Structure 1
């Protein structure tokens, strides 16, 4: 979907918040040089085990990336909400070639069975009231255009903003579901000891497998040809 939207060869791609490289692997294909960035060195070390040798890695937060080199594609997979809102889109525009593409994708994994969802809520409640990721700009759930599309529409650096939903249903083990929760910011912000407790409570309360709503929400935008990096 991203490459079709680009409509031209994507020779260089820059990933924001690559983590262990699940999305990196999708774009690391012949003809595309991917630079995967993340502030966590341990994450990048794990990524290196799973990607082609020509993938470049840079240990840096988005805010610390040099803006002297532009790319055909800049993308973020479930990581954009970790970036600072201050100057986010002017910095992003400075990383993308005019006419190039920015893409963001991700979405919540939610139990498809309401009874299982209630089980998770009850197990989590003594430690955490909610594990929802609030919209960074306050856009309500169910709004026609979700964040970050809302911010992209207001940006001077990008146009042709699109939102697409890829519907998915997946079944995972209880352990894998808890592993997913361990990447969610609400849990990561808890003290380490508390995190271990809540993960244990949730896993023990779950059935062996969990069916999930796992839709992927994709946001696409094109770097304006006449933009000067403002946004």
Structure 2
């Protein structure tokens, strides 16, 4: 398994700290799509469960196979295709129907330090030797403005079990 695919587990705390949470608009989108109270949902994401945390009941939990870096998320979707992965995979799967994709546009502002913290959760940096990674972050921080504007759009894929 590629080193990048296994890198997330080493920075879960930083991911939780620096990656942005999700807006209420995402939960409104899911509720509207469901058309009724949501009893269960599956979050497919390489992360700490931020997207489903606000909607979980106290008994809610993540599927054990999603708590590991062992699950890869390959994107076989051709560039320029409107429906992106994993929507394309959901659409091909006989287990799901009514597959939809929605984009929630959002912009965020972070301090330069927070932005570098966010970069510290990206696998391309995580696979660098520690000394090289620290030097890269030092150089990035040296040229950043005090506040960094981010395009942080969310692409949500919704599907129903057949």
Q: TM-score with structure 1 length normalisation?
A: 0.50
Q: Secondary structure at the match of 2:76?
A: coil
CA deviation string 1:81-126 (max 9, x = no partner): x7336xxxxxxxxxxxxxxxxxxxxxxxxxxxxxxxxxxxxxxxxx
Kept after mapping to 1: 8 A contact 2:43/2:49: no
CA separation of 1:18 and 1:33: change in aligned 2, threshold 3 A: farther
Q: Say whether 1:25 aligns with 2:53.
A: yes
Aligned pairs for 1:118-133 (under 5 A) are none
Aligned length: 134
Partner of 2:81: 143
Q: Write the distance in 2 (CA, Å) between the matches of 1:34 and 1:62.
A: 14
Q: Write the distance in 2 (CA, Å) between the matches of 1:210 and 1:201.
A: 15
Q: Write the distance in 2 (CA, Å) between the matches of 1:200 and 1:154.
A: 44
Structure 1: gaps (5+ residues): 38-59, 65-78, 86-134, 225-231
CA separation of 1:138 and 1:173: change in aligned 2, threshold 3 A: same
Q: Write the distance in 1 (CA, Å) between the matches of 2:78 and 2:151.
A: 21
- More strand by percentage: 1
CA separation of 1:192 and 1:136: change in aligned 2, threshold 3 A: farther
Q: Write the distance in 1 (CA, Å) between the matches of 2:137 and 2:77.
A: 28
- Report the aligned-residue RMSD: 2.8
For the pair shown, the structure with the greater C-alpha radius of gyration is: 1
Q: Say whether 1:11 aligns with 2:15.
A: no
Q: Which has the higher contact order (CA 8 A, sep 6+)?
A: 2
CA deviation string 1:46-80 (max 9, x = no partner): xxxxxxxxxxxxxx44397xxxxxxxxxxxxxx9x
Partner of 1:36: 62
Structure 2: gaps (5+ residues): 1-28
Q: TM-score with structure 2 length normalisation?
A: 0.68
CA deviation string 1:168-227 (max 9, x = no partner): 111111111111112222222323332222222211210100111111111111111xxx
CA separation of 1:15 and 1:187: change in aligned 2, threshold 3 A: same
Q: Write the distance in 2 (CA, Å) between the matches of 1:63 and 1:20.
A: 8
Partner of 2:136: 198
Kept after mapping to 1: 8 A contact 2:112/2:145: yes
Kept after mapping to 1: 8 A contact 2:77/2:88: no
Q: Write the distance in 2 (CA, Å) between the matches of 1:32 and 1:11.
A: 12
- More helix by percentage: 2
